[in-house]
Homo-oligomer: A and B are copies of this chain.
Amino acid sequence: MRQFVLLAHDVPTTPDFSLDDLAGGAGRLDALCRSITASFVLSHGIRESVRVHLVIADELTVVFEGSELRRLNPDERSTAALVRTALAHREEAIGALPAEPSPGVALYRRDLAATLEAVAAEGPVVELHEDGEAIVESGVETLSGAAFVLSDHREVTADERRLLESVVDRRIRVGPRTLHADDAITVVHHYLDTDGYERF
């Protein structure tokens, strides 16, 4: 299982935004949707052994489960519609029980701390960051079952930094150029798909 944790600082916690204005009114949800699709889509299908956690405003978390997802198209707009639908069902998420508005999509009342606790129970937690060590330093065995944490266009807050430091095993960069989050995810997949650039 590969997991990605996406920190969404400015995405609304209610569905009151337009799919025509994802960059502005929805807090750069367009970029986050590109990261979600980069995590899952292949040319002929979906990566089933991937789980993505979209942590919205340190309050709600939308979890996408590759093995159950249906209808994840590669465009930003339809992915944003899945997020918006999940937010519309937020009242159904009670305590630890999620709302499950569509196959493979669950909305939890879960903040970053709870999400990090959940992923840390399953494997190493790695932060993707331009100041990290080169991905090749870690070795593919270490990373194959890891959760990769990425922030959106904002730096993590001081509180988030403290939380991350308590669970993150290491920080990793994927190359000499600083990439957008979705491209960094594509490179992580490439590194793992090729068993560390060994198998093509």
Contact = CB atoms under 8 A, between A and B. Distances in A.
A180 B74 contact: yes
A134 B75 CA distance: 28
A187 B183 CA distance: 9
A194 B193 CA distance: 17
Please give the count of copies of this chain that the complex contains: 2
Interface in A35-69: 38, 41-44
Given A42-B179, A180-B43, A75 B190 contact: no
A24 to B, nearest CB: 11
Interface in A152-200: 173-180, 183, 186-187, 189-190, 193-194, 197, 199-200
A42 to B, nearest CB: 6
A197 B197 contact: yes
Nearest to A190: B187
A177 B76 contact: no
Contacts of A76: 75-77
A30 interface: yes
Contacts of A189: 177, 183
Nearest to A22: B75
A34 interface: yes
A200 B135 contact: yes
A42 B177 contact: yes
A70 to B, nearest CB: 17
A30 B75 contact: yes
A200 B73 CA distance: 32
Given A22-B75, A177-B193, 7 more contacts: A20-B20, A31-B74, A31-B75, A173-B200, A175-B190, A183-B189, A190-B190
11 contacts: A30-B75, A31-B74, A34-B34, A38-B183, A41-B183, A42-B180, A43-B178, A44-B178, A76-B77, A134-B200, A197-B197
